[in-house]
Amino acid sequence: MSQFEYRDGLLYAEDVALTEVAKKFGTPTYVYSRAHLEQQYNSYADALDGMPHLVCFAVKANSNLAVLNVLARLGAGFDIVSGGELERVLAAGGQANKIVFSGVGKTRAEMHRALQVGIHCFNLESLDELERLQEVAAELGVQAPVSVRVNPDVDAGTHPYISTGLKDNKFGIAIHEAEAVYQRAAQLPNITILGVDCHIGSQLTSLEPFLDALERVLILVDRLAELGINIEHLDLGGGLGVRYRDEEPPCAGDYIAQVRQRLAGRKLTLIFEPGRYIAANAGVLLTQVEYLKHSADKDFAIVDAAMNDLIRPALYEAWMDIKPVVPREGTPRHYDVVGPVCETGDFLGKDRPLCLQEGDLLAVCSAGAYGFVMASNYNSRGRAAEVMVDGEQMQVVRQRETIAELYANESLLPE
């Protein structure tokens, strides 16, 4: 169910009209729905009911403290990829022992801190990382819990930039090489083997690649058992897609039912790392039309949000719906909705039938995941505000960045 619906000719986030958000906090502003975050998290957790599990929200999708806090209160775990994300989770009230740490480039300092706070598991991406983790754990005199992220070489059928499970991706360890890595891990005194991990890509709209990967991973689990290496958990990563336009991705319930069926009789804890599924449709980017520019061939709506605020359309040619907050009667024109940044690639949507006037508010939909987190200060533009709606309440959960903040850390050369 969407929490962004029209009521009496106005687009709402839960029980708050987006016109009110713009009036109070200005634009561009990311607006999140607490209810949607909760509903999506619960759809994972409910489907896993009755078996040991951990739903680790992929922090990279949306790392706002309030978003993390809403999920932490529901008992969520977190999938992190940096020391920065680790500190965010802790600051938001997340539990260290529910954190899994992914990523190909973990530094010694990051490992040290993660071991110190006692995270649940490191998802190892290479043999060298395993050796480094052994050293850091030995220095601290602790055990480091690990999974090996295996690359099952399945085609996720998604955009090449967000497909991660093919053998020529930088991620994971080829599944046929994994056995050797586990054998090495088993010899290391400060390493405890916990699980097997895989993440094959993002925005998957069919279950087949997930189930193919699962089958390959289970073969590995059985081979490891023959070697005397017992696996406690399977981490199947994130990747479940959402609807941006007309996609019909499976829901978490169907996905998990299929996984559970294939695991019947095995004693394995299940971990998932969903990001987009939980956050994408929990947010919109609210923006205002600055100018309408008409030429013989083109109509442009120049808005106050740009590629620095939301880069997905420019980077992946991602299609994200753009809705008028207060729809007008009249004949629509086909607008390219563009920002003020000096790049031809600075667009939020192309060829959108809209009936607009200067000053109108637009909502770029499905922007709750990989939206604000990928924002930059390009063109010396401060980053947008973030607001969380909860029923009739709205609260700013990140202030709009000021111009002074933009160069507060810079300095002039000495005289």
Question: Rg (Cα) of the chain, in Å, rounded?
Answer: 23
The answer to whether 238 contacts ligand LLP (rule: CB under 6 A) is yes
Q: If binding is defined by CB under 6 A, does position 148 make contact with ligand LLP?
A: no
Residues 179-198, interacting with ligand LLP (CB under 6 A): none
Nearer to ligand LLP, 275 or 339 (CB): 275
| Contact indicator for 100, 123 with CB cutoff of 8 Å | yes
Q: Is 362 helix (H, G, I), strand (E, B) or coil?
A: strand
Q: Which helix (H) or strand (E) holds 293?
A: strand 283-294
User: Residue 370 interacts with ligand LLP (CB under 6 A)?
Assistant: yes
Structure tokens at 2: 């969407």
177 annotated to bind ligand: no
Tokens of 370: 């990989």
Shortest Cβ 366–ligand LLP spacing (Å)? 10
Distances, alpha carbon 36 to alpha carbons 39, 54, 77, 227, in Å: 5, 20, 18, 45
- Of 113-121, 271-279, 354-362, 406-414, the window that binds ligand LLP (rule: CB under 6 A) is 271-279
- For ligand LLP, the closer of residues 102 and 308 by Cβ is 102
CB of 374 to ligand LLP, least distance (A): 6
* 108 is known to lie in a ligand binding site: no
Q: How far is the CB of 146 from ligand LLP (least distance, A)?
A: 15
The residue within the footprint of ligand LLP, chosen from 277, 335, 347, 372 (CB under 6 A), is: 277
79 in contact with ligand LLP (CB under 6 A) = yes
Amino acid at 53: H
CA distance 350 to 320: 10
Query: Which amino acid does the sequence have at 81?
Result: V
Residue 10, exposed/middle/buried by CB under 10 A (0-12, 13-18, 19+)? middle
Report the distance separating Cα 310 and Cα 89, nearest Å.
23
User: Is residue 158 at the binding interface for ligand LLP, with CB under 6 A as the rule?
Assistant: no
Cβ neighbours of residue 300 closer than 8 Å, sequence gap 6 or more: 291, 292, 293, 294, 335, 336, 337, 338
Active site residue 121: no
| Token pair for 20 | 């009110």
Residue 159: exposure state from Cβ atoms within 10 A (0-12, 13-18, ≥19): middle
Bridge partners (DSSP) listed for residue 7: 10
DSSP state of 364: E
Among 77, 165, 274, 368, binds ligand LLP (CB under 6 A): 274
Any contact of residue 313 with ligand LLP (CB under 6 A)?
Answer: no
- Of 120, 276, 352, 381, the residue at the interface with ligand LLP (CB under 6 A) is 276
Q: Which helix (H) or strand (E) covers residue 259, if one does?
A: helix 252-263
Q: Does 67 bind ligand LLP (CB under 6 A)?
A: no
Please check if 239 is assigned to a binding site: yes
Q: Which of 13, 18, 58, 173 binds ligand LLP (CB under 6 A)?
A: 58
Options 22, 47, 61, 156; binder of ligand LLP; rule CB under 6 A:
61
162 binds ligand LLP (CB under 6 A): yes
Task: Determine the interface stretch with ligand LLP among 222-230, 235-243, 255-263, 340-348 (rule: CB under 6 A).
Answer: 235-243
**325 in contact with ligand LLP (CB under 6 A):** no
Q: How far apart are CA 130 and CA 188, in angstroms?
A: 9
Nearest to ligand LLP of 28, 237 (CB atom) = 237
26's tokens:
């200005």
Q: Residue 203 — left, alpha, or beta (φ > 0 → left; ψ -120 to 50 → alpha)?
A: left
Q: Is 237 in the site for ligand LLP (CB under 6 A)?
A: yes
Kindly give the pairing relationship between strand 233-235 and strand 191-197. Answer: parallel
Footprint on residues 195-234 left by ligand LLP (CB under 6 A): 199, 202-203
Q: Mark the binding-site residues for pyridoxal 5'-phosphate, compressed into ranges.
A: 239, 273-276, 370
User: Residues in the site for ligand LLP, rule: CB under 6 A?
Assistant: 58, 61, 79, 102, 162, 164, 199, 202-203, 237-240, 273-277, 312, 316, 369-370
Q: Mark the binding-site residues for substrate, compressed into ranges.
A: 276, 312, 316, 343, 370
Q: Mark the binding-site residues, compressed into ranges.
A: 239, 273-276, 312, 316, 343, 370
User: Which of the residues are catalytic?
Assistant: 342
